Chains A and B, each alone.
Chain A
Amino acid sequence: MFQTITDTALLVTFLGIAVHLTLYPTRLPRQAATCRLVRGSVHTLSLLLIEQKSSLLGALKKLVYLVTVLCFLVLAMTGFWPLLVRGQHISGYFMMIHATFAPVFALCLAILAVTWAGSYSFAADDCAWVQRLLRRTTRLRVPAEERPWRCSRLLQKVTFWLILFLALPLILSIIVSMFHLLGTGWQHATLAIHRWTGLAFVIVAILFTYFAIRVRMTDEA
């Protein structure tokens, strides 16, 4: 069942992104859009080419992000490949690689959480639809926002916080099982939590990356 749901969820995610991209293009000429897409992807993935005036701290932050992305890819591959391709649970070398990259990923994610949380805080202009709702349904005097609502930016922030939120059960479900706390029944439960949370995490991470690219492309438009 998990294999089927994973296949379906990933398929739906990628299809959804494709549909979204089709329905809400970035309003750039196709050639420019393609070029910007590639650059946006590279920037988003590497973050090494922007901010020519970045400090040592900024470079370290970008390095941490790069390592995080690398670890994420390795963890996703080692976690889902045996299941989706071979129909088996993770074991052997895949398990060892997964367990090696996991603490690195956790640490890098924690650093990113600390350094990026500020810039991903929600602001009033992130919630235009909430403002409209409040204006229409309450007597609160909410000023009308003149700037256009940046959907991608809002969703990027949402997915960022979702990633952090999902990281907790993802990490703790495995760590708790390593202590002499849980019996066999709960071991099964924590493994299931890790599995399902991992799936949700991957989907949210994919969406975060997509929205990050869109935001980068929109910024450069």
Chain B
Amino acid sequence: MRREAIAGLIVWAAVCVPLAVGKETAKKLLGDESDGSRAYSVHVIPLYAENEKGEKGERVDPNAEQVMPFSTRWTCGECHSYGTISRGWHFNAVDANVPAGRPGEPWLYFDSKLGIQVPLSYRPWPGTFRPERVGLTPFEVTKIFGRHMPGGGPGEITAIEPDDVAKQYVSGKLEVNCLACHNAHPGQDQGSPTGYAVQVARTDFRWAAAASSEFADVTGSAADMPATYDPFMAEGEGPKAPRVTYNKNAFDAKGSVFMQIVREAPDERCYFCHSDLSCAGGDEKPEKWSQDQDVHLAAGLKCVDCHRNGLQHNIVRGYDGEAAESGNTMAAATSCRGCHLGDESGRRPDGGRLGAPVPVHKGIPAVHFERLTCTACHSGPWPGDKTVLAKTSRAHRLGTPNVAKDERVLPHVISPVFAKQTVTDPNESRLTTPKIGPHKLVWPAYWGTLTGKNEVEPIALATVSKVVGAVMKDANVPSTGDWGEVKEEQVAKALKALGDSGEQKPVYVTGGMLYQLNDDGTLAGPKEHPAAAPYLWPVAHNVRPAAQSLGVGKCTVCHSPKSPFFFGKVAVDSPVASVSNIALRQYEFQKVPHGRTWAFAFSFVFRPWFKVVAIGSAGLIAIVLLLYGLRALGAIARVLAEQE
């Protein structure tokens, strides 16, 4: 009897305890689910730091002797599932299981003296390189580009390189900085001399989130500390040691802090990473006040009205066909088509969301919607006779201290380029329809080696810096931050030096061309090569109002022999003068033949005459039909009348 009882107890425990535990681990945290209230939740919360083991540490006390920066993982993570959030789109670039989706803006590593401008991305976008292919570890990527990252991603990868392991112990990991998006306080500091971006550049990863907040100040630099420095020990601190000082007035009597947290990120938070500026060239420098913002924002919408996400932070990117690739259920509804037109096959009307005007597109043949994206006519700068340079937050460090403001500063991002992009038809997920849309473009420039498969593998930046740097050490780099002029003789010397250093078949890729050495050591090139192809990514903003869309009022805006849409020049960017003097045309990126495109554009000269002749002929035929029809009626009437 006793044995049976004990056995039953064991079975019960074996069944129920895992269930209970499982239930506990699946349980959502307080902030994971909304109760439906649209009011803001007031965040008066305690702050927690992370301890040396990477676990939840002590509660932050501003009066303590050893004050550590608060950790968003352990502070925000008390109520919001940090693990779930950190797998969201902004943080999951390093996850190979995440579909890459439509190509987006890469990180651009550049070095004017070495003649390098290379697009990097952890996402497998064709034309970009994974940072490790150029010898950049996740730690280094975080240090260089983390200024415009919201944390997470490569910043949370545990270092494996011996140097990086030691550095990471000092610096900490760059956690997801929830405040970068969700702190509505005007004191949220991403770009000041003591703000987030500067702390990241100093590898003060552990301190970056605190530095960005309005109630903490961070001094010092982890990058200047020796590998033996222990940030968790108060002893041995010097003036360069990273240190956080909290505003004691921000803490209430219970030691909690009020944080102005909002669910919907304010536009200014998005703008820190997602601003861009078109440089029209000439004497007039572009200014924010002279360029209109996106028409959606001017109409009162917020960025997050379209770019939505739930707890998973799988944010809507807003492109056609995203619904087939993204797990976000709002992806289709918040694309251009989804908001403005809705699902025309649906049982209920869902176009015109958020007050979006339903377009009629009077006079535009339907073939345009098969060949062009919405953004082709409605987004980006108005196409001119030649492309212009554009600046973006992530490429040009906009909003951070000591940014070079010259238009020609590297990296050179060229815009707008009307090129074909593959769009997944939302109605048939397998169907891909190449459509023309506006893009930004960058011409990669890098040193590499030619493999047996006629592909180019980039050489590690450290090697290039050492070998090519020695050749180019006397090169003049303009103060504007533009390319220094690289002559072909220098290219030849650099290639020879790389070959002597052990690199097999070194090449230099620039401006769509490739240089290599012949067997006799002379320079061969420049010649076209697939590896030198430019990298393009679609442009969606700023959206212009309908009255400023391409083709408004006149077909000849695009369909004429001098139209910038087809025949505008696309600059080729390279430090080598003989390559950068080449100019391409927009139609080459649209993959349409020049002759046919020109002939079709020219035919529009005769279009008014076409209309006159056709209408006149139709009128004449109608008169003949009417006349003889009336005569026939008259004849019938006469016959009937006579017979009576």
Chain A residues in contact with chain B, CB under 8 A?
A: 89, 91-93, 95-96, 99-100, 102-103, 106-107, 109-110, 113-114, 117, 121-122, 140-142, 161, 164-165, 167-168, 171-172, 174-175, 177-184, 187-188, 191
Are the C-beta atoms of B367 and A188 separated by less than 8 Å? no
In the complex the two chains form, what is the Cα distance from A55 to B350 in whole Å?
A: 67
Residues of B within 8 A of A161 (CB): 625, 628
Are the C-beta atoms of B624 and A168 separated by less than 8 Å? no
What mask results when residues 341 to 360 of chain B are scored 1 for a CB within 8 Å of chain A, else 0? 00000000000000000011
Are the C-beta atoms of A110 and B620 separated by less than 8 Å? yes
Residues of A within 8 A of B614 (CB): 102-103, 106, 171, 174-175
Residues of A within 8 A of B553 (CB): 180
Known contacts A168-B625, A183-B360, A184-B364; A113 and B620 CB within 8 A of each other? yes
In the complex the two chains form, what is the Cα distance from A93 to B593 in whole Å?
A: 11
**Interface pairs A-B: 5 shortest CB-CB:** A183-B360, A180-B363, A106-B617, A110-B617, A110-B620
Chain B residues in contact with chain A, CB under 8 A?
A: 359-367, 369, 553, 596, 599-600, 603, 607, 609-611, 613-618, 620-622, 624-625, 627-628, 631-632, 640, 643
Known contacts A106-B617, A140-B643, A141-B643; A93 and B596 CB within 8 A of each other? yes
Known contacts A92-B596, A102-B610, A184-B361; A109 and B366 CB within 8 A of each other? no
Q: Of B603, B611, B627, B643, which contacts A178 at CB under 8 A?
A: B611
In the complex the two chains form, what is the Cα distance from A141 to B359 in whole Å?
A: 63
B613 to chain A: closest CB distance in Å?
A: 4
Most buried by A among B361, B615, B624: B624
Are the C-beta atoms of B624 and A117 separated by less than 8 Å? yes
Known contacts A99-B610, A141-B643; A191 and B366 CB within 8 A of each other? yes
A157 to chain B: closest CB distance in Å?
A: 11
Are the C-beta atoms of A167 and B618 separated by less than 8 Å? yes
Q: Of B362, B369, B599, B618, which contacts A182 at CB under 8 A?
A: B362
Known contacts A103-B610, A103-B613; A179 and B363 CB within 8 A of each other? yes
- Main SS at interface, chain B: helix
Are the C-beta atoms of B607 and A164 separated by less than 8 Å? no
In the complex the two chains form, what is the Cα distance from A41 to B628 in whole Å?
A: 28
- 20 A-B contact pairs sorted by A residue (CB < 8 Å): A93-B599, A99-B610, A102-B614, A106-B613, A161-B628, A164-B625, A167-B618, A168-B618, A168-B621, A171-B617, A175-B615, A178-B363, A179-B363, A180-B362, A181-B363, A183-B362, A184-B359, A184-B369, A187-B364, A191-B365
A170 to chain B: closest CB distance in Å?
A: 9
B216 to chain A: closest CB distance in Å?
A: 55
Residues of B within 8 A of A95 (CB): 600
Residues of B within 8 A of A96 (CB): 596, 599-600, 603
In the complex the two chains form, what is the Cα distance from A178 to B367 in whole Å?
A: 13
Are the C-beta atoms of A107 and B613 separated by less than 8 Å? yes
Residues of A within 8 A of B620 (CB): 110, 113-114
Residues of B within 8 A of A174 (CB): 614
Name the residue of chain A whose CB is nearest to the CB of B603: A96
Are the C-beta atoms of B365 and A177 separated by less than 8 Å? yes
In the complex the two chains form, what is the Cα distance from A179 to B600 in whole Å?
A: 18
In the complex the two chains form, what is the Cα distance from A103 to B610 in whole Å?
A: 6
Q: Of B369, B596, B617, which contacts A107 at CB under 8 A?
A: B617
Are the C-beta atoms of B360 and A184 separated by less than 8 Å? yes
Residues of A within 8 A of B367 (CB): 89, 91
In the complex the two chains form, what is the Cα distance from A219 to B251 in whole Å?
A: 111
A161 to chain B: closest CB distance in Å?
A: 8
Are the C-beta atoms of B622 and A175 separated by less than 8 Å? no
Are the C-beta atoms of B603 and A99 separated by less than 8 Å? yes
Name the residue of chain B whose CB is nearest to the CB of A115: B624
In the complex the two chains form, what is the Cα distance from A184 to B344 in whole Å?
A: 13
Name the residue of chain B whose CB is nearest to the CB of A105: B617
Are the C-beta atoms of B621 and A167 separated by less than 8 Å? yes
Known contacts A95-B600, A99-B610, A175-B614; A117 and B628 CB within 8 A of each other? yes
Name the residue of chain B whose CB is nearest to the CB of A182: B362
Name the residue of chain A whose CB is nearest to the CB of B632: A122
In the complex the two chains form, what is the Cα distance from A181 to B610 in whole Å?
A: 17
In the complex the two chains form, what is the Cα distance from A177 to B555 in whole Å?
A: 13
In the complex the two chains form, what is the Cα distance from A100 to B620 in whole Å?
A: 20
Residues of A within 8 A of B599 (CB): 93, 96
A25 to chain B: closest CB distance in Å?
A: 32
Known contacts A106-B617, A106-B618, A171-B617; A165 and B625 CB within 8 A of each other? yes
In the complex the two chains form, what is the Cα distance from A114 to B619 in whole Å?
A: 11
Are the C-beta atoms of A182 and B603 separated by less than 8 Å? no
B504 to chain A: closest CB distance in Å?
A: 46
Are the C-beta atoms of A109 and B643 separated by less than 8 Å? no
A181 to chain B: closest CB distance in Å?
A: 6
In the complex the two chains form, what is the Cα distance from A117 to B631 in whole Å?
A: 12
Are the C-beta atoms of A183 and B361 separated by less than 8 Å? yes
Residues of A within 8 A of B615 (CB): 175
Residues of B within 8 A of A89 (CB): 367
In the complex the two chains form, what is the Cα distance from A102 to B364 in whole Å?
A: 20
Most buried by B among A93, A103, A140: A103
Residues of A within 8 A of B616 (CB): 107, 110
Are the C-beta atoms of A113 and B621 separated by less than 8 Å? yes
In the complex the two chains form, what is the Cα distance from A167 to B624 in whole Å?
A: 12
Are the C-beta atoms of A164 and B364 separated by less than 8 Å? no
A122 to chain B: closest CB distance in Å?
A: 7
Residues of B within 8 A of A183 (CB): 360-362
Are the C-beta atoms of A113 and B624 separated by less than 8 Å? yes
Residues of A within 8 A of B364 (CB): 184, 187
A115 to chain B: closest CB distance in Å?
A: 10
